[in-house]
């Protein structure tokens, strides 16, 4: 047995886990929470007059039981039941009822109707609950549905329309049917015995590289992840989770919905991205799940506001000594440091909160916290890597930022920063009961990240060959690249499929080059690709860049830039990035985009489709 001083941080974490009560299926979790937290607030919602009201854990359980009873009565026991629509209480009730009664099939509301119908056909769904907006889109292409008798249950409680689906029900009416049955002695829902190890959730994920697959998850997969997360991030009963990210994704569903329900906390829903700050000041949340893009925008607005309110003497340009101290660890060579000498998004106006006078510091922290609703204590960030300087800036404002890494196939969390140990430039440490290793590491320790644990999926739906490619000897091979340091912290460097290999065998991780590009405030986002030129078998690094026109205009002291000026300015940023990288990683060519990249619902840039149609002649 090692003494504490000899333990790695990952080993020390195992001695500190928060205690939790085990559950193996979501029905057990629902009944447990309703018993323990009976009269506590489970959801804060808005009525048609925009007034906030509360629903208790007992209310929530009764609604799930009522809807589930009605689903059983209509013949959907053991059937595939799809759920689609914006984040809402009805979505939450529907998902939980569906995964207990049958197999839940959560579908992305942003998909085209043809894709939605394709997933309904592949999953053989016999019922779908969701928003009328999505149903109307499906109706336009209904001839593509294999099952013309699929039952539609509308969250919007619409009246049946001429030339609209004949087999459509209103959610409230349908749920109330089940309530009447249950009240009159129908115990069919309560009698359901859930096998925690069989497929109960079928998720379709395209990720950022295309080729959608159906991920098969069990209740044990999801419940094990809930317990593991609770073990490293304490959820208080007084916590209010603000739900922004799409619920069909396991990231929001597991951590932003099921985890608080297990923990006795409360949930509220965002009215839309443009209402985030308004809603935060209405609900006063304490926990927010977000993606880096959202947090970067919050960071930008906060520090822009701070800069406007501070006396000019506290707004100083970086001097050379400050520049020398601004370092990050490169992805390809984890043991080396590269100095960043250009202006950085993460240091707006070079404000270091810790160097301000105590009184000013206290006022700023108070104002920032109040602007975010007054109770916010933690941001949980996933889906992509976040600039560590942003994490440190929020920490200086007494706002905790916990970054993690996960995949749909892992229910989703694999590693994360915790209540006990945090490292701003890492995605964290393995969560309880989950093992992580690096396969076939190169000379820098970088290789494919593999995961083993009860959170790992059962397999891909009806795709045995694809399943065999990623599930080997109990290990899930993620397709992501990274390395683990001596303390057990994981660092993500890119995707196996996106690695660019040069003629002389050098590996280039495009995410690393993108990191340097995106660190400039003059660039909103970028995509780095390797391309071949005619009659040349060498691979060249090329970048598509979407400029930050607002920042460029500020850089030009308010002048609206011409296309030529934009290209010249971006060329300067590219040259600066190249100066920090070895020759074989240099960007040889770039184009300026006039619109944002197409993204997944978790705001990752897609590395397929229109995004990779590159114009080699542009520079």
Q: What is the structure's pLDDT at 288? A: 96
- The alpha carbon dihedral of 393, 396, 401, 403 has a sign of positive
Q: What is the structure's pLDDT at 319? A: 35
CA dihedral defined by 468, 472, 474, 475, rounded to 10 degrees?
-110
Element (H, E) at 380: strand 378-381
Domain residue ranges of the chain, discontinuous segments joined by + = 13-194, 500-612
Which residues does residue 242 pair with via DSSP β-bridges, in sequence order? 268, 288
Name the pTM for this structure.
0.82
Render pLDDT for 501-544 as a digit per residue (tens, 0 to 9): 676 566 787 888 888 898 899 999 999 888 777 666 677 889 99
Residues 6+ apart with CB under 8 A from 361: 353, 354
d(Cα 405, Cα 428) in Å, to the nearest integer? 8
pLDDT < 50 regions, the chain = 1, 162-163, 208-209, 317-344, 346-349, 615-619
Q: What is the structure's pLDDT at 616? A: 39
d(Cα 400, Cα 372) in Å, to the nearest integer? 13
What is the architecture of the domain spanning 500-612? 2-Layer Sandwich (3.30)
Q: Which two structure tokens, joined as six digits, stand for 353?
A: 């909160």
Render pLDDT for 266-278 as a digit per residue (tens, 0 to 9): 999 999 888 999 9
Options 3.40.50.12780, 3.10.180.10, 3.20.10.10, 3.30.930.10; CATH for 13-194 is 3.40.50.12780
Neighbours of 217 (CB within 10 A): 28
Q: Do domains 13-194 and 500-612 have the same CATH topology?
A: no
Q: What is the structure's pLDDT at 614? A: 55
CA angle at 110 for the pair 116 and 140, rounded to the nearest 5°: 50
Sheet with 378-381, side-by-side order of all strands: 52-56, 41-46, 266-269, 240-243, 287-290, 378-381, 400-406, 413-416, 429-430
d(Cα 504, Cα 525) in Å, to the nearest integer? 29
Q: Which two structure tokens, joined as six digits, stand for 589?
A: 């060519």
């Amino acid at each position: 047995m090692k003494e504490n001083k000899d333990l790695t941080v990952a080993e020390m974490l195992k001695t500190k886990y928060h205690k939790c009560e085990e559950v193996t299926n979501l029905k057990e979790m629902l009944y447990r929470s309703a018993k323990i937290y009976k009269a506590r607030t489970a959801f804060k919602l808005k009525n048609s007059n925009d007034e906030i009201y509360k629903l208790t854990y007992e209310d929530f359980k009764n609604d799930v039981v009522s809807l589930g009873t009605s689903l059983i009565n209509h013949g959907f026991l053991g059937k595939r039941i799809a759920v689609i629509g914006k984040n809402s209480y009805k979505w939450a009730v529907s998902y939980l009822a569906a995964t207990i009664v049958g197999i839940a099939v959560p579908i992305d509301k942003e998909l085209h109707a043809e894709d939605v119908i394709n997933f309904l056909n592949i999953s053989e769904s016999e019922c779908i609950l969701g928003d009328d907006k999505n149903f109307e889109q499906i109706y336009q292409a209904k001839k593509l549905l294999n099952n013309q008798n699929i039952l539609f249950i509308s969250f919007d409680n619409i009246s049946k329309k001429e030339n609209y689906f004949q087999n459509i029900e209103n959610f409230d009416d349908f749920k109330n049917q089940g309530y009447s049955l249950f009240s009159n002695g129908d115990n069919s829902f309560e009698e359901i015995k859930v096998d925690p190890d069989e497929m109960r959730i079928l998720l379709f994920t395209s990720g950022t590289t295309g080729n959608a697959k159906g991920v098969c998850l069990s209740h044990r997969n999801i419940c094990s992840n809930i317990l593991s997360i609770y073990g490293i991030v304490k959820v208080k009963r007084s916590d209010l989770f603000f739900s922004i990210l799409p619920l069909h994704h396991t990231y929001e569903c597991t951590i932003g919905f099921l985890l608080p329900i297990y923990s006795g906390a409360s949930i509220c829903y965002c009215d839309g991205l443009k209402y985030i700050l308004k809603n935060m000041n209405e609900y006063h949340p304490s926990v927010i799940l977000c993606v880096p893009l959202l947090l970067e925008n919050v960071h930008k607005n906060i520090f822009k506001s701070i800069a406007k309110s501070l006396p000019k003497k506290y707004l100083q340009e970086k001097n050379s000594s400050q520049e020398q101290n601004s370092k990050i660890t490169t992805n390809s060579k984890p043991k080396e440091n590269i100095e960043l000498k250009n202006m950085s998004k993460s240091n707006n106006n070079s404000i270091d909160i810790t160097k301000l006078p105590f009184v000013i510091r206290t006022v700023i922290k108070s104002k920032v916290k109040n602007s975010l609703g007054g109770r916010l204590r933690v941001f949980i960030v996933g889906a992509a890597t976040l600039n560590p300087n942003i994490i440190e800036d929020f920490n200086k404002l007494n706002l905790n930022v916990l970054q993690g890494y996960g995949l749909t196939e892992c229910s989703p969390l694999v590693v994360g920063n915790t209540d006990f140990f945090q490292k701003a430039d890492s995605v964290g440490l393995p969560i309880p009961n989950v093992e992580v290793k690096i396969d076939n590491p190169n000379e820098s320790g970088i290789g494919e990240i593999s995961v083993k644990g009860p959170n790992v999926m059962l397999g891909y739906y009806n795709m045995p060959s694809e399943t065999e490619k990623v599930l080997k000897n109990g290990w899930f091979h993620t397709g992501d690249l990274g390395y683990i340091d001596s303390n057990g912290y994981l660092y993500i460097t890119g995707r196996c499929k996106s690695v660019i290999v040069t003629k002389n065998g050098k590996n280039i991780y495009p995410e690393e080059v993108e990191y340097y590009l995106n660190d400039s405030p003059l660039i909103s986002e970028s995509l780095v690709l390797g391309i071949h030129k005619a009659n040349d078998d060498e691979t060249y690094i090329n970048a598509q860049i979407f400029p930050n026109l607002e920042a460029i205009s500020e850089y030009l002291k308010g002048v609206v830039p011409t296309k030529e000026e934009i290209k010249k300015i971006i060329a300067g940023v590219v040259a600066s990035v190249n100066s920090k990288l070895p020759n074989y990683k240099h960007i040889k060519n770039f184009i300026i985009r006039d619109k944002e990249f197409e993204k997944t619902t978790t705001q990752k840039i897609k590395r397929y489709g229109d995004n990779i149609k590159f114009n080699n002649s542009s520079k």
